Structure 1
Amino acid sequence: MSPSHDGARRRRRLAGEIKDSLRELSNQLSLLNHQVGAQLDLKDVDLDCLELITRHGPMSPSALARRAGLHPATMTGVLDRLQRGGWITRERDPEAADRRAVTVRALRDRNAEVFHLYSGMNTKMDELLADYSEADLQLLVDFLQRTTTAGHTATATLAEA
């Protein structure tokens, strides 16, 4: 076998291992999120939407539905549950041309509950990342950002189909 063929085979094997590891990571994070949601009495989709609001700031329900890939009617149920649970507030947008326009905002006083439940994972991540050089960390950041972009693209493509 030629050295270039052997190198290509090793590269394909490593690429496959990366993809397998990403799928396993996705599964593990999904299970972690499910456990966090259960502790907080939130459905998985509710926790996902709360994370989007917390991460991206206040937004309209329709913008949140687009980000979450949910039907607006489904979003109404999610927001009703989050509001009843004291996780979010809906506020009229005084700047909007449509006086019915609403902005959804996360209530920060509940953040400590969420952070506490993720603290075990955050501690493990800090320990794991301590073993990497700054250059390694920059490579990982680049890889994860590019992987996230690929995921957004794949999701959008499926949503359009």
Structure 2
Amino acid sequence: MDLDCLDLIGRCGPISPRALARQAGLHPATLTGILDRLERAGWVARERDTADRRAVLIRALPERNAELFRFYSGMNHAMDEICAEYTEAELDLLAGFLRRATGAGRDATAALADD
């Protein structure tokens, strides 16, 4: 779950802890533990929001990106080999399915958070 949150922060950040918890579908207390671990390990920083000094924003530390990419290099290479076996049309179909499935999951998570 830590890497999932780091990915969300990287894609959506800087982001408030509340918005991140909503995006990740996590209880705020659970998210606090994750953010503490990510901050101690040097992956994220908590900063004051310049628009509202009472608020905190979480941002990923881009200087660690190269290290993160190295962690996934083996999997990225394997995925490149798998994708090379499909035509562009097949990849477009798969990508469309994944976008729709992700959207459905996001919508379901948002509906649960609203309850």
Aligned-residue identity in percent:
64
Cα offset, 1:70, TM superposition: 1.5
Residues 119-158 of structure 1, C-alpha deviation per residue, up to 9 Å, x if partnerless? Answer: 1111111111112222222111111111112222333445
Larger Rg: 1
**What is the distance in 1 between the residues matched to 2:73 and 2:98?**
21
**What is the distance in 1 between the residues matched to 2:5 and 2:64?**
15
The 5 Å alignment of 1:62-81 reads 62-81=18-37
Report if aligned partners of 2:22, 2:110 keep a CA contact under 8 Å in 1: no
Report if aligned partners of 2:43, 2:64 keep a CA contact under 8 Å in 1: yes
**What is the distance in 1 between the residues matched to 2:49 and 2:109?**
30
Residue 58 (structure 1) aligned to one of 2, 10, 14? 14
Gaps of 5+ in 1: 1-44
**Aligned counterpart, 1:139:** 93
Gaps of 5+ in 2: none
**What is the distance in 2 between the residues matched to 1:61 and 1:159?**
14
Paired letter, 2:68: V
Cα offset, 1:117, TM superposition: 1.6
- Give the TM-score normalised by the residue count of structure 1: 0.64
**Aligned counterpart, 1:113:** 67
Residue 155 (structure 1) aligned to one of 104, 109, 112? 109
Residue 90 (structure 1) aligned to one of 34, 46, 53? 46
**What is the distance in 1 between the residues matched to 2:92 and 2:31?**
36
Cα offset, 1:60, TM superposition: 0.6
Q: Which structure shows the bigger proportion of residues in helix conformation?
A: 1
**What is the distance in 2 between the residues matched to 1:92 and 1:126?**
40
Residues 32-84 of structure 1, C-alpha deviation per residue, up to 9 Å, x if partnerless? Answer: xxxxxxxxxxxxx2222111101222101111111111222222222122111
The number of equivalent residue pairs is 115
**Aligned counterpart, 1:129:** 83
Change (3 A) 1:159 1:91: closer
- Give the TM-score normalised by the residue count of structure 2: 0.87
Q: Secondary structure at the match of 2:72?
A: helix
